[in-house]
Amino acid sequence: MNAGVDVEAGTVGVRMPKHIAIVMDGNGRWAQAKHLPRTAGHHAGSKAVRRTVEYCAQQGVEVLSLFAFSSENWRRPKEEVEILMRLFMTTLKQEVKRLNENKVRLLFIGDRGAFSQALQDKIKESEQLTGENTGMTLIIAANYGGRWDICQAAERLIQQAVANNDGHLKVTEALFEDSLATAGIADPDLFIRTGGEKRISNFMLWQMAYTEFFNSAVLWPDFNEDYLREAIFAYQNRQRRFGHTGEQIESAQNNTKNEL
């Protein structure tokens, strides 16, 4: 038969990405270009978040992951960090009710212990309120780092090994994935970075091993449905090979077509 080739993954043309992950970059430059303080860019960026969430939910995207604050972003000026934290809190207060009405399930990944107690409580409350929702899963990565995620997964596995009587644990990729902050969530199919930089900046390092990258020069506050459509279209025209040859993927696709 198809010698283990994942036909679905290789299909070109119509498939929607099930999981889209976005590094929302360029808020500061957007504001500076308008001679505004950087924080004005973060406020404008929160509107782009709303547009993106709504569009993805309408399009049937199953999971949308947004990088909101990295484990390295604490290095920014104190005032900017404070404003970002305040914006995080007010956005949650304003948006969670509507997200819940739209059946969105909210998940937060990252080391939340560094946030104020009030913010931690709000995060927990939002997750509890939306936890049973069956619509799109919206993952907010806050104080998240890919390296942090890998370390905390390793720590959990060590604890499991210690709990085993003989102290032994066979670490497989599947077991490791179950210990990551994204346990139970399929890896991103499409990774979008706005703002033009061509780097991962410590986002989902493990999870993006085979994710398709789309780089956009558009600054995050200007990001909208048209740009998102462009990214999805680019994704739909990629051939995902996962180590196979292009010929293997094509012949698997032809076999499937013939079988239909």
- Contacts with ligand IPE by CB under 6 A: the residue count is 18
Residue 189 appears among annotated catalytic residues: no
Phi, psi for 163 (deg, rounded to 5): -70, -25
Distance CA 137, CA 63 (A): 5
CA 11 → CA 75, 99, 212, 246, distances in Å? Answer: 42, 32, 14, 11
What six digits make up the tokens of 221? 């506050």
Q: Pick the catalytic residue: 73, 102, 224, 255?
A: 73
Residue from 5, 20, 21, 25 in contact with ligand IPE (CB under 6 A)? 25
d(CA 75, CA 255): 53
Identify which of residues 146 and 195 has a Cβ nearer to ligand IPE in the complex.
195
Q: Is 84 in the site for Mg ion (CB under 5 A)?
A: no
Cβ 27 to Mg ion shortest distance, Å: 7
199 binds, among ligand IPE, Mg ion, none (CB under 5 to 8 A by kind): ligand IPE
* CA 29 distance to own-chain centroid: 22
95 binds Mg ion (CB under 5 A): no
- Please report whether residue 149 would count as binding Mg ion according to CB under 5 A: no
Q: Which is nearer to Mg ion, 193 or 240 (CB)?
A: 193
Angle in degrees, 0-180, between the axes of helices 117-130 and 78-101, rounded to the nearest 10: 20
User: Do strands 212-215 and 190-193 pair parallel, antiparallel, or not at all (unpaired)?
Assistant: parallel
* Residue 25 in the binding site for Mg ion (CB under 5 A): yes
Rule CB under 6 A: which of 77-136 touch ligand IPE? 84
Per CB under 6 A, 26 contacts ligand IPE: yes
Question: Site residues (CB under 5 A) for Mg ion?
Answer: 25
